[in-house]
């Protein structure tokens, strides 16, 4: 389980990540790339990403969507039962984390609005998905080779830890600074507290203790503290970077239980408009 709240990437860091994920430039490993790209571009949760099956992708009026099922077979190849779907060794299907998460239909597009430059840019998520899973609209030729699920060690399906590690690998290659990421986390997080027997507030975990040290990669680059839910938070913040967000529509995309949950993302988006704050966030 995460040891801290999810904190989104600043819009400039998000743009850097999206540039690194550009499938036309083939910067990243295809398996790491599809998992990272899918979470960043649709806001699905880590567990949902690890269970994603090619049958979840549909076309309507020429556009691609991912349809999150309210319930589905767990297709993971785990040499046994899936540790997430079946902790008690009693087979059961895959469920999204919350009932609101099931049945969502999320657009899978090739463009996004870059709020750091005020330009529409190539995103390429649809291109990556069509290539990786070998799917295409009904009226076009289907690519010959593709995967049924995201592959981890040549098996169908990926675990939480594997996906989080992939995301950090790509963030390192996108030159997202671990030091400045730590600065951002310290600005946004608050200590975990509880009340003792005297009713006094006691700090259980400081902000510094919440921030994970992931060491360095094989090139000696320090790895930033980013995990899948941070990218989900980035997706939610992207949705809230517009004037007057329509919360009732947005929760249909994000799968949150109530509109109030989205308010924090509006605050994240609003804080980015201050030039003084921007200078602190690389």
Q: Could you report the per-residue pLDDT of 70-96, keeping only the tens digit for each?
A: 888 888 886 655 777 766 555 568 887
Query: Apex CA 251: angle with CA 92 and CA 270, to 5°?
Result: 135
Pick the most confident of 69-73, 77-81, 225-229, 273-277.
225-229
- Average pLDDT over the chain reads 86
Q: What is the pLDDT of residue 198?
A: 81
Classify each residue of 102-122 as buried b or exposed e, where b means 16 or more C-beta atoms within 10 Å of its C-beta.
bebebebbbebebbeeeeeee
What is the C-alpha end-to-end distance of the chain, expressed in Å?
27
Mean pLDDT, rounded, for 170-195? 93
**What CA–CA distance (Å, rounded) separates 150 from 219?**
26
Mean pLDDT of 9-36: 96
Q: Are 30 and 37 in contact (CB under 8 A)?
A: no
Return all residues near 130 (Cβ < 8 A) that are at least 6 apart. 64, 136, 143
More confident residue, 84 or 125: 125
Give the percent of the chain with pLDDT over 90: 58
24 or 89: which carries more pLDDT confidence? 24
Lowest model confidence (mean pLDDT) among 156-160, 191-195, 200-204, 277-281: 277-281
Partners of 23 in the beta sheet?
Answer: none
Residue with tokens 């999810």: 6
Q: Taking 60 as the threshold, does the pLDDT of residue 233 lie above it?
A: yes
Class of domain 11-278: mainly alpha
Say yes or no to pLDDT of 248 above 70.
Answer: yes
β-bridge pairing 111-114 and 119-122: antiparallel
Q: Which two tokens stand for residue 118?
A: 């005020």
Strands (E), 76-118: 105-108, 111-114
Confidence of residue 197 (pLDDT cuts 50, 70, 90): confident
Task: Tell me the C-alpha distance between 250 and 151, whole Å.
Answer: 30
pLDDT score of 90: 57
| pLDDT value at 6 more than 70 | yes
Task: Say which residues have a Cβ less than 8 Å from residue 142's Cβ, sequence separation at least 6.
Answer: 134, 135, 136
pTM of the entire structure?
0.86
pLDDT the model gives residue 245: 76
Residue pair 47/128 in contact (Cβ under 8 Å)? The answer is no
71, 99 Cβ separation under 8 angstroms = no
Q: Where are the alpha helices (DSSP H) in 43-119?
A: 46-51
Show me where the domains of the chain are located.
11-278
Structure confidence at residue 247 (pLDDT): 73
């Amino acid at each position: 389980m995460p040891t801290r709240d999810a904190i989104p990437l600043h819009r400039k860091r998000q743009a850097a990540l999206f540039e690194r994920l550009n499938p036309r430039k083939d910067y990243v490993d295809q398996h790491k790339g599809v998992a990272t790209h899918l979470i960043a571009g649709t806001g699905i949760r880590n567990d949902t990403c690890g269970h994603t099956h090619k049958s979840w992708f549909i076309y309507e009026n020429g556009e691609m969507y991912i349809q999150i099922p309210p319930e589905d077979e767990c297709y993971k190849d785990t040499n046994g039962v899936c540790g997430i779907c079946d902790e008690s060794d009693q087979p059961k299907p895959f469920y999204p984390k919350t009932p609101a998460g099931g049945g969502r239909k999320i657009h899978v597009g090739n463009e996004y609005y870059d709020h750091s430059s005020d330009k529409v840019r190539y995103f390429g998520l649809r291109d990556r998905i069509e290539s990786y899973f070998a799917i295409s609209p009904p009226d076009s030729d289907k690519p010959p080779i593709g995967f049924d699920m995201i592959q981890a060690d040549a098996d169908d399906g990926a675990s939480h830890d594997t996906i989080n590690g992939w995301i950090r690998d790509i963030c390192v290659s996108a030159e997202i600074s671990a030091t400045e990421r730590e600065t951002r986390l310290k600005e946004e997080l608050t200590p975990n507290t509880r009340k003792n027997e005297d009713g006094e507030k006691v700090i259980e975990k400081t902000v510094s203790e919440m921030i994970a040290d992931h060491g360095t990669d094989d090139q000696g680059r320090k790895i930033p503290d980013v995990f899948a839910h941070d990218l989900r938070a980035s997706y939610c913040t992207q949705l809230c970077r517009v004037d007057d967000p329509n919360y009732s529509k947005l929760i249909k995309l994000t799968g949150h239980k109530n509109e109030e949950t989205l308010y924090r993302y509006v605050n994240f988006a609003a804080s980015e408009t201050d030039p003084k704050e921007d200078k602190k966030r690389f």
